[in-house]
Amino acid sequence: MAMEPFAIGLTPADYEKHGALVTRRTLSQLQALYTDREAVERQLAEGDPVVYEVYELPHPNDETDLLVNITVLYPGKVGEEPFMTKGHFHAEPDTAEAVIGLSGSGEMLIQRRNGELRRLVVAEGKISYAGGGWSHRVINTGDVPLVFFAVSGANIVHDYDTAARLNFK
Ligand code: S6P
Ligand code: ZN
C-alpha cells in the first residue's frame, strides 16, 4: 500500500509528531567501525553515547514510494575518527540516494565495489548525490549535530556487509 500524501516540517520533531520510527545507534553497537580499540574501551567505560538517530516515516509504503529519512549525527570522536554512520550499499538494483544538509557540517564518503573512494560535502543548503553503485557513509566533522535529509527509493535493501568489508578506506 502506498503512503498517504503529506506535507510536514523537515525537522526531527515534526517527523516524531507524524509518528516517525526513531532508531538510535549507540557507540557500543558501532564499536567495530573504529580502529582505535583503546579509545573505544576508554569511552565505553564512561558510558554509551548515542552516535546517531534515524527518523523514518511510518510504513506502510510500497516499492513505488520514496524513503525520506532525517538523520541526526552527533558530534564526537573516537580517537582521531569522527562519529559516523555505519554506511551501506543498496543491494541490487543499486539505486541512487540524495542527501540534503539541514544543519551542521560533515562529509559523505562514497565508495564503489571496486574500492574507488570519493568525499562529498554535507552542509546546510547543499545537496550531495550518490548515484547507483556508490555506498555511502556520513561523518560529522564539526562540533554541533549534523542533521541531514536522505531520499532514496523505498524498494532499497540495505547491504551493510559489503560496505563494512571495504570500510571507506
Ligand atoms: C537510508 C539513508 C539514511 C541512513 C541513515 C543511517 O537509505 O541512507 O537514512 O539509513 O543515515 O545510516 P546507516 O548507514 O546506519 O543506515
Ligand atoms: Zn542509503
Mean pLDDT of 142-164: 96
State the DSSP string of 53-111: EEEEPPSP--TTSEEEEEEEE---EETTEEPB---BEEPSS---EEEEEEESEEEEEEE
Nearest to 121 by CA among 148, 159, 96: 148
Give the ligand whose atoms come closest to the C-alpha of residue 71. Answer: 1
Contact call for residues 50 and 25 (beta carbons, < 8 A): yes
DSSP assignment letter at 5 = P
Mean pLDDT of 28-53: 98
**Contacts within 8 Å (CB) and 24+ apart, 42-50:** 43/78, 49/74, 49/76, 50/24, 50/25, 50/26, 50/74
- Which band of pLDDT confidence, cut at 50, 70 and 90, is reported for residue 136? very high
Q: Tens of pLDDT along 70-89?
A: 999 999 999 999 999 999 99
Cα separation, 122 vs 164, in Å, equals 21
Task: Give the per-residue pLDDT at 161.
Answer: 97
Residue 143 Cα to ligand 2 middle (Å): 24
Three-state SS for 17-60 is: HCCCEEEEEEHHHHHHHCCCHHHHHHHHHHCCCEEEEEEECCCC
> What is the residue with the minimal CA distance to atom 11 of ligand 1?
71
Residue 19: φ, ψ to 5°:
85, 25
Residue 36 Cα to ligand 1 middle (Å): 23
Tell me the best of 54, 59, 108, 139 to mutate to test the pocket of ligand 1, counting ligand atoms within 8 Å of each CB and taking the most.
Answer: 54
All three cell numbers of 166, joined, read 571495504
- 3-state SS class at 12: helix
Query: What residues contact 62, with CB distance under 8 A and at least 6 apart?
Result: 1, 2, 154
Contact call for residues 132 and 162 (beta carbons, < 8 A): no
pLDDT higher than threshold 90 for residue 41: yes
Fold of domain 12-165 = Jelly Rolls (2.60.120)
pLDDT higher than threshold 80 for residue 59: no
Task: Point out the ligand 1 atom lying closest to the alpha carbon of residue 152.
Answer: 7
